[in-house]
Chains A and B, each alone.
Chain A
Amino acid sequence: MTGLAKMADQEEITLSVQGLRKVIGKREIIKGLDFELKRGEVFGFLGPNGAGKTTTIRMLVGLIKPTAGTIRICGYDLHRQFPEATGSMGCIVENPELYTYLSGWGNLQYFARMMPGINEDRMDEVVRLVGLSTRIHDKVKTYSLGMRQRLGIAQALLGRPKLLILDEPTNGLDPSGIREMREFIRYLAEHEGLTVLVSSHLLSEIQLMCDRVAIISKGSVIRVDTVDNLLSQQEKVSWRLTPLAKGELLLRELAGSAEVKGDKVLTPYNELEIGRWNQALVESGVTVTEMSRRLPSLEDLFLELTGGESID
């Protein structure tokens, strides 16, 4: 998609969540979520287990009724206009659970019968898109997890949705499968203009695949921002110095802060100053053997934002 087209599409909101709350018994599981997803973006939903990711996703797809708040999918209210709203959405919640005693094709036929206007051509199209053509007529129980995942995606795409909701899409896949899935999700967003909502507790995954991220912890969204923005604030430079102690002391003076991590010193990244710091180090007799920009993982970020709450 060209830049211009992308800009025009950014006006289109495919999912809007307002004041979403869920109370079970006396416990408030979800404490008022607000966010919006735009057309053609991959949105990451990130949080530790028990943060309320799954509950939220299940509310978004209509499996759980929210206690309060509204969910609009392509403008349709999920509660009041359920058929229209879910008609514009495709989803896989947790593992792709399908009817194992039917063939892959049988499953697609089954789903096609539940939506209007899906013919065999569309079914062929999604089968080709997920690359299952050779095995589609075998029983699903003979499929590997990766193949089931693909069939799950085929099923989700069958109704030409505008919004795709994937709960832990890379769970249980092998590294090549994870890579494939990632590329496929990027492809859907960039070339088919789909909005994709991906939840994960794997920070590296979200980092590689998403445009924007919502970080959620204990039932609230702590932060919504683009991945780039979040990362650039945390960008650091790592120095390998001899002698280490002297170098650290000097850098602390120059950069304002420095911390020793292993045999390296970390300082904030400052594009304009960094050359001068290097020069100062060399002039005072410290040898700089390595100097590299270090993009922090979302993990670091997460720990910082949630104040050390563990991921798993």
Chain B
Amino acid sequence: MINLVYNEMVKITGKRRLVVVTLIIAILISLFTYAQFQQAAENRKRFGDVDWRTALEQRIAGWESRLANGSGRGDEGELEMRIAQQRYYLDRNINPSEPGAPTFVRGFVENGITLLLPLMMMIVAADLVSSEHSSGTIKVLLTRSVRRWRILLSKYLALMLSVSIIITLFGVLSTVISGLVFGFQGWDAPVLTGFTVTGGELDTSGVRSLPQWQFILMELGLAWFVSLVVATITFMLSVLVRTTAAVMGIMLACLIAGTILREMVESWETAKYLFMVNLELIDYLQDADPPIAGMSLGFSLLVLLVWGIGALIVSFVSFTRRDVY
């Protein structure tokens, strides 16, 4: 089996998939680092070198004025929650955005989990099986003295390995690149997690303080899980659909539909069982307000797990039974 997985890795690297993904991630990180650096410089120019407390107070004041003049447009609840949360930080004298590489990584993983990371997984997973069909190599692969389920399992294990490599690269690259600009301090800065809502009020009874590095590891863990599920679903499509372009198209449509649906789902409750609505796992750690009532971290993990297992079962059943023409 190790040999088979090794073979699959040879193919993934032979097609330069990991190199492409690494390059895309590196370029994007450099871009965002530069953008944030510019923004920080701009802020300093406009407001002077202010203390973080003053900056945070200004931000809260801004939200409050938006709330007061009614320009929140239906987001009043969320705004109120955010204000309460930031006040909580302020009261405990904790800077929620301590400058430095760790803060950048934290924000970047948080933003990347819904679209960027799933897209990277797609690049690797989309042609894992379908390319064997379109290039005809499926015929040499399936006429070896190896049973089909072992072939597919080796492909899936190689995919898991690639997902892990990409997540690690993502963490390491964003740390290194942003660290070169912002410095590497702030690993121990506290991050508060565990806010809940009870009866429209922010409940801080379950709030715990975590050092930032631990929080980032949690984030990366969740990102790994989300990526693996998206990769598994892409893998299933790659088994079912024989052209890579179609796999990419379907998956892209799902992911984009997910980002749109998340904005609209409040009125469509059953949408919470769709995998693409449940990708924002990290939000549960920080934000209190779920997109649909009844969604929680546990719920989303479960939904994703069920989708992942379902996709795997479909892949294996289809791959081992299908006639190859």
- Which residues of A are interface residues toward B (Cβ below 8 A)? 58, 61-65, 82-87, 89, 91, 93-95, 97-102, 106, 110-111, 113-115, 155, 159
Contacts and interface: CB of A to CB of B under 8 A. Distances in A.
Contact of A62 (B4, B14, B137, B142): B142
B143 interface: yes
A309 B15 CA distance: 46
A97 B136 contact: yes
B54 interface: no
Contact of A101 (B3, B7, B14, B321): B14
B7 A62 contact: no
Nearest to A152: B140
26 contacts: A63-B142, A63-B325, A64-B324, A82-B145, A84-B145, A86-B144, A86-B145, A91-B143, A93-B143, A94-B139, A95-B136, A97-B135, A97-B136, A97-B137, A98-B137, A99-B135, A101-B14, A101-B15, A102-B14, A106-B14, A110-B7, A113-B3, A114-B144, A114-B146, A115-B144, A159-B145
Nearest to B2: A113
B139 A63 contact: yes
Interface string B104-137: 0000000000000000000000000000000111
B interface residue count range (under 10 / 10 to 19 / 20 to 34 / 35 or more): 20 to 34
Nearest to B131: A99
A64 B325 contact: yes
B323 A64 contact: yes
Contacts of A106: 10, 14
List 7 tightest A-B contacts by C-beta distance, closest first: A97-B136, A87-B145, A63-B324, A113-B3, A64-B323, A86-B145, A83-B145
Interface in B250-284: none
B46 interface: no
Interface of B: 3-4, 6-7, 10-11, 14-15, 135-137, 139-140, 142-147, 321, 323-325
Given A61-B143, A99-B11, A114-B145, 5 more contacts: A64-B324, A86-B144, A98-B140, A99-B14, A101-B14
A208 B140 CA distance: 28
Given A64-B323, A64-B324, A114-B4, A82 B140 contact: no
Nearest to A96: B140
A121 B3 CA distance: 19
Contacts of A87: 145
A101 to B, nearest CB: 5
Contacts of A98: 137, 140
A102 B10 contact: yes
B15 A62 contact: no
Nearest to B323: A64
B137 A86 contact: no
Contacts of A58: 323-325
A256 B131 CA distance: 62
Which of B4, B15, B146 is most buried by chain A, counting CB atoms within 10 A of its CB?
Answer: B146
Contacts of A102: 10-11, 14
Nearest to A91: B143
Contacts of B135: 97, 99-100
Nearest to A102: B14
Contact of A65 (B7, B14, B323): B323
A110 B145 CA distance: 13
B259 to A, nearest CB: 34
A110 B12 CA distance: 13
Contacts of B11: 99, 102, 110
Contacts of A89: 143
Contacts of A101: 14-15
Nearest to B321: A65
Which of A64, A113, A114, A159 is most buried by chain B, counting CB atoms within 10 A of its CB?
Answer: A114
Contacts of A63: 139, 142-143, 323-325
Which of A97, A99, A111 is most buried by chain B, counting CB atoms within 10 A of its CB?
Answer: A99
Contacts of A64: 323-325
Given A110-B10, A114-B4, A62 B140 contact: no
Contacts of B3: 113-114
A83 B143 contact: no
Contacts of B146: 83, 114
Contact of B140 (A85, A100, A115, A155): A155
Which of B4, B6, B142, B323 is most buried by chain A, counting CB atoms within 10 A of its CB?
Answer: B323
Contacts of B323: 58, 63-65
Which of B4, B144, B146 is most buried by chain A, counting CB atoms within 10 A of its CB?
Answer: B144
A97 B139 contact: yes
Contacts of A114: 3-4, 7, 144-146
A94 B140 CA distance: 11
Given A63-B324, A97-B135, A97-B139, A111 B144 contact: yes
A113 B141 CA distance: 12
Contacts of A82: 145, 147
Nearest to B6: A113
Nearest to B137: A97
